[in-house]
Amino acid sequence: MEFQTPLVPARLTRRYKRFLADAVLEEDGHEVVAHCANPGSMMGLAMPGMRIWLEPNDDPKKKLRFGWRLVDHENGHFTCVDTMVPNRALKVSLMAREVTGLAAYKLVRPEVKYGEASRIDFLLSGDGLPDAYVEVKSVTLSRQKGLGEFPDSVTKRGAKHLAELSEMTRQGHRAIMFYLVQRTDCDRFDLARDIDPTYAVAFDLARKSGVEVLCYDTRISPKGVWLGKPLVSAA
C-alpha cells in the first residue's frame, strides 16, 4: 500500500489529546499540527525530538493539513503509527490472495456488521468454504529487542472483539485474529500480558474456542507499507 501523497520529514515536538501532534518540518522549520491516528499509548514512539514522517493533504474537508504516519528510528528501521494502515495494507494482500491460509477465499468484504453492534474488519467468503471473520490489530509496541507486543494500553474493545470472534467459531465459521506488526525491527510477537491481563485472558479463551491467530511483519518506507512474512508468535 503506497501513501497517497509523498511524506515529508519532521521532528516531533509533542503528542497530546491522543489524536494531535505538534512537529517542526525539516525542510523549512515551520511548526505544524498533525493528526495522529492512534488511540493507544504509543509507548516509546512519541518522545520529543524523534524524527517522524508526515503525509500532507489539501483536502478542504480535513481540519489538519498533515497526518502522522511513521516514526523514523534513524537506524534503517521504521514504525508506522497509523492504526488505519493495517486494514488498507491487508486488504490489498487479501484481494491478491497472498495471505497463507486465506488465499482460497475469493470474496473480501470490509467492515461487515456482526456481533453486538460491531463490525468485522474483513468477512471472507468462498465456494465450499466456511465464512472467515478476520479482525486486525496494529502492533507497534516493542520493549525487548526484536519483540513486538500487543496491546500497548488497556483495550476493553479488543477483549470484546475476541469474545465476538469466539461466538463466530461456535456458529461454525472460521475466526482469525490477525496481528500486523508495523515495525521493521521485530521478528517475533507476543502478548503484553502485564499491560492488560484482561485482554490476555480473553485471548486465551478465544484460542481455546477455536479462534485462529495470524501474525505478519511489514515492509515500511516513506513510500508505503506492505504486508511482509509470517512471524514467530509466542502468544
The pLDDT tens digits along the chain (235 residues) read 999 999 999 999 999 999 999 999 999 999 999 999 999 999 999 999 999 999 999 888 888 999 999 999 999 999 999 999 999 999 999 999 999 899 999 999 999 999 888 899 999 999 999 999 999 999 999 999 999 999 999 999 999 999 999 999 999 999 999 999 999 999 999 999 999 999 999 999 999 999 999 999 999 999 999 999 999 888 8
Strand order in the sheet with 188-191: 141-144, 147-150, 188-191, 232-233
State residue 160's pLDDT score.
95
Taking the CA atoms of 229, 56, 25 and 43 in sequence, report the sign of the dihedral they define: negative
Contact partners, residue 164, CB within 8 Å, separation at least 6: 114, 115, 116, 118
State residue 58's pLDDT score.
84
Distance CA 171, CA 114 (A): 12
User: Residue 94: which domain range?
Assistant: 85-233
The bridge status of strand 212-221 relative to strand 132-139 is unpaired
Look up residue 176 and give its three cell numbers.
482469525
- End residue of a domain, out of 80, 112, 135: 80
63 in a domain, yes or no? yes
Residues 201 and 169 reside in one and the same domain = yes
Q: Is 49 left (phi over 0), alpha (psi -120 to 50) or beta?
A: left
Residues 118 and 222 reside in one and the same domain = yes
Contact partners, residue 212, CB within 8 Å, separation at least 6: 101, 174, 175, 176, 177
Residues 32 and 72 reside in one and the same domain = yes
Residues 54 and 74 reside in one and the same domain = yes
State residue 10's pLDDT score.
98
- End residue of a domain, out of 55, 80, 105: 80
Contact status, residue 184 vs residue 78, Cβ threshold 8 Å: yes
Would you call the peptide bond into 6 cis, given omega within 30 degrees of 0 as the criterion?
Answer: no
Residues 75 and 141 reside in one and the same domain = no
Residues 145 and 201 reside in one and the same domain = yes
Distance CA 16, CA 18 (A): 5
